[in-house]
Amino acid sequence: MADIAIKKKRPKNLDLPTIRLPLPGILSILHRISGAVLFLLLPVLLWLFQQSLASPETYAVAKALTGNILVKLILLGLIWLYMHHFCAGIRYLLLDLHKGIDLESARLSSKIVFGVSIALTVIVGAKVLW
């Protein structure tokens, strides 16, 4: 099994700041970051969901909290992370089915992911936060 090691010397560039990450690369790292951040904030989100549903009084508490502009902006950011993960996730599912794997379509679909996820963030933010 050991003799499958790659023998060819390939150029390496691990000087991160000099690497220009193309859009599909940014999409990909944001997909991982969004998944991790949403996971870490699950207790906060579950708590907020619970407050918003338990009773009119707790709903008012949640409403007052989200009335704070800083909280609003953070939640808007989280909605965007979710929408990005959602749209990029669907793109991955399609790629897994070998849909759109050539370079042209892959670039185009990552643009679509950014566009759609930002649009959905604005719509949902307007509906539930403002």
Partner 1 sequence: MVNRVVVGAGYGLKDWIAQRATAVVMAVYTLILLATLGALGPSGFEAWRSIFSNGFMQFMTFLFFISLFWHVWIGVRDILMDYIWNDGLRLVLMIAVVAALVGYAGWAAKILWRL
Binding mask 10-29 for ligand HEM (x = CB under 6 A): --------------------
Distance of alpha carbon 107 from alpha carbon 24, whole angstroms: 6
Number of residues lying near partner 1 (CB under 8 A)? 27
- Site membership for partner 1, residue 54 (CB under 8 A): yes
- Site membership for partner 1, residue 100 (CB under 8 A): no
Q: Which residues contact 120 (CB under 8 A, 6 or more apart)?
A: 83, 86, 87
**Of these partners, partner 1, ligand HEM, none, which one is at the site of residue 46 (CB under 5 to 8 Å by kind)?**
partner 1
Angle at 43 between CA 29 and CA 65, to 5 degrees: 100
Question: Minimum distance between the CB of residue 89 and ligand HEM, rounded to whole angstroms?
Answer: 3
- Site membership for partner 1, residue 52 (CB under 8 A): yes
- Site membership for ligand HEM, residue 112 (CB under 6 A): no
- Site membership for partner 1, residue 19 (CB under 8 A): no
Q: Report whether 69 contacts 51 (CB < 8 A).
A: no
CA distances from 86 to 35, 46, 91, 111 (A): 10, 18, 9, 14
Distance of alpha carbon 84 from alpha carbon 89, whole angstroms: 8
**Of these partners, ligand HEM, partner 1, none, which one is at the site of residue 103 (CB under 5 to 8 Å by kind)?**
none
Binding residues for ligand HEM (CB under 6 A): 32, 35-36, 38-39, 42, 85-86, 89-90, 92-93
